[in-house]
Structure 1
């Protein structure tokens, strides 16, 4: 009986649990900006972005990819182990049937190649850690390493072995140095760049897109490393404005979140606190020492 109880507890706390860096970091409001930054970065791998453009309906469903990614991150972070594994199995099942074609060679290739899965994973988790930290989330270097090590469990869900992705900041730096020769601008990357700056919306929302969303896109793009800006060929806003914008966005959002949560609370976090108790609610005060 005791063994069964331990197993049930492990399943209820999911892949990471309330004592993880992941649990606290992924609840930060600037994760949305980090998600947009991840899409900009991921699009700089020509083989990876080709797989998205050739297999995605993002032109007709402009917000679908971002929302589906957010739902996947929410489920794998705050869901039970079974829910996280089901989400991962669904992604693997979809990916195994998808192919892309290199227009220059006519070569067809699977989009779930290890190198492509690794790129998408690394570009995402580095964006999450770097953007949220730059916005003022109090992460130490040791906690960044712990976060990246924790995220190996997420990589495993999409079909990677834990040792196929870096588990530390130094490992990530080495990986990005190694992968840089495979990166670059492309017509597909230009399409993603334009799409993220001006996604299709109903006419009634045009003003909001230009006044609000455009600022988020500018900050997300500006937070990329300088070599990524060079590959895109577009000048970013000044770096001081990127940092100031991220911090202002995080501060202002944090002030209104308590009011928003009276009306709408993240379903993933709500389900986790209903399951595990109010003490499981994410907080920077609960960041584990590293």
Structure 2
């Protein structure tokens, strides 16, 4: 018996899903921004073989980005600045789009575009200041807070790539990634950023006495993991990404943020779900990504 063929076009599904992901991450100006970054001529900060390009160009960044936000929230002053001045609840996609553009511009864009991205962020930081719920003053331009945000990001991006990336880095390449990110950190006003994985771990550990699971941090974690506004079709894959991010969080962060700690499930079901979500996004977006890389290599 010959079974009827279902009217499913895999290429059409791939294009539709990839387009939706691209639109969510890049926003309405995504096509123009891609041209600004990948098609514009000029020298780049990082050569094509640098580790930062492998990490920041991989879909494991979806997991790394969520982990970074959770980890960053544990610093009460950094969290107070986000809670008061950020529009992550009112416009979470806009915040994602601005962050992704900054990472793309500084990692892949020509030097003048990368410098403009740095200048925009530093301009925003100069305007963000206030008083935390515990009475302490904060300023986003404070090098100490900037360092914490940087450490949380690169530790998260690297951890996610090593678990879910297409080609995990060797120990030497991991040091190379931390070294690469140090250039961007210095441009943002961070003195003496870590240059090796060992230095990254040492600097992160030095912040432990300052960290706490404040009500603002726990509210942010709940919003990111449970309450983020998503279309129905995106909820299942997003839940898998969120579970993967939680699974990468250090054990000592779980209680302050009220995060579950289920090592057996995280190491089996959670990891498989994370792989499935990351691989699905990679499949859907790989055609567009390849096109962008081809355009860059043709220059």
On the 8 A contact 2:45/2:110 being kept in 1, the answer is: yes
User: Offset at 1:152?
Assistant: 0.5
Q: Is the CA contact 2:243–2:274 (under 8 Å) kept in the aligned structure 1? A: no
Which SS does the other structure have where 2:138 is aligned?
A: strand
Matches within 5 A, 1:124-273: 124-136=153-165, 137-161=167-191, 163=192, 165-201=193-229, 205=231, 207-237=232-262, 238-241=265-268, 242-258=270-286, 261=287, 264-265=288-289, 270=292, 273=294
Cα deviation for residue 265 of structure 1 reads 4.0
Q: TM-score, normalised by structure 1?
A: 0.81
Q: TM-score, with normalisation over the residues of structure 2?
A: 0.78
CA shift for structure 1 position 56: 1.0
Shift of 1:33: 1.2
Moved more, 84-93 or 96-105: 96-105
Q: Secondary structure at the match of 1:109?
A: strand
Q: Which runs of 5+ in 2 are unaligned?
A: 1-40
2:69 to 20, 30, 39: 39
Aligned to 1:123: 152
Give the Cα separation in 2 of the matches to 1:56 and 1:254. 29
Please identify runs of 4+ aligned residues in structure 1 that moved more than 6 A.
Answer: none
1:111 corresponding residue in structure 2: 140
Structure 1 residues 185 and 253, CA gap change in structure 2 (3 angstroms): same
Per-residue Cα deviation, 1:231-287 (whole angstroms, up to 9, x for no partner): 2122145331343333333444444444xx2xx448xx82x6534438xxxxxxxxx
1:265, 1:257 → 2: CA distance? 6
Rounded to whole Å, the distance in 1 between the matches of 2:85 and 2:210 is: 21
Distance 2:221 2:283 in 1: 31
**Cα RMSD (Å):** 2.2
Aligned residues: 255
